[in-house]
Chain A
Amino acid sequence: AQSVTQLDSHVSVSEGTPVLLRCNYSSSYSPSLFWYVQHPNKGLQLLLKYTSAATLVKGINGFEAEFKKSETSFHLTKPSAHMSDAAEYFCVVRSNTGNQFYFGTGTSLTVIP
């Protein structure tokens, strides 16, 4: 069965410092992985996706993630945090049938001015 584990429920960074949100996945095949962002009282927006092309995936708003099969990880990074990055972030894996999506429990990012 597929699953994702987001290792931190809360992350706090200062504005202008790097962001690292950690995600490990469990899958018996080469997975499709996604990161979504949810701003307060808003719906979810896709940040980036990995679908077995380049292992380093660039997304919107300066975010990127690196797929590491040996570590079963798909961590989300950004070189310099902005106040507008404060939100909830979800790591998602698609099932091997392609029909279901499994969300992590989320990481709440706080950006300190």
Chain B
Amino acid sequence: EAQVTQNPRYLITVTGKKLTVTCSQNMNHEYMSWYRQDPGLGLRQIYYSMNVEVTDKGDVPEGYKVSRKEKRNFPLILESPSPNQTSLYFCASSSRLGLADYNEQFFGPGTRLTVL
């Protein structure tokens, strides 16, 4: 089954304790992305990756890191989480549409993170 998986689905942690949220897709998609969803703000893009070893900042990258060492995986790293990073996080992937275009995104089930 074609899918995007995220782990963990729920996480409660404390300020400053490094954490990683994993994301994996089995569709051989070039493009992967992380979003955070907050009430009244919709989804905002944190980081995206156009292919292996190619990543770039989205609209809200502060406090986050990513890496893309393999095509299927795109982990989100919070080196020193703070309470304002409490949010619902989504990973997404997409196939290439053209030279610089990407198709619609497929989303993972989400990770609900609480930072105390």
User: Which residues B91-113 have CB closer than 8 A to chain A?
Assistant: 92, 97-98, 100-102, 104-110
Shortest distance from the beta carbon of B84 to any chain A beta carbon, whole Å: 18
Interface pair B42/A106, CB less than 8 Å apart: yes
B24 within 8 A of A: no
**How many residue pairs, one in A and one in B, have C-beta atoms under 8 Å apart?**
54
In Å, the complex CA distance between A23 and B101 comes to 22
Interface pair A46/B104, CB less than 8 Å apart: yes
Interface size class on chain B is: 20 to 34
Interface pair A98/B102, CB less than 8 Å apart: yes
Interface pair B108/A105, CB less than 8 Å apart: no
Interface residues of A (CB under 8 A from B): 9, 32, 34, 36, 42-46, 49, 51, 90, 94, 97-106
25 contacts between A and B (CB under 8 A): A32-B101, A34-B104, A43-B90, A43-B109, A43-B110, A44-B43, A46-B104, A46-B106, A51-B97, A90-B42, A90-B43, A97-B100, A98-B97, A98-B98, A98-B100, A98-B101, A98-B102, A99-B56, A100-B58, A100-B59, A101-B45, A103-B42, A103-B43, A105-B42, A106-B42
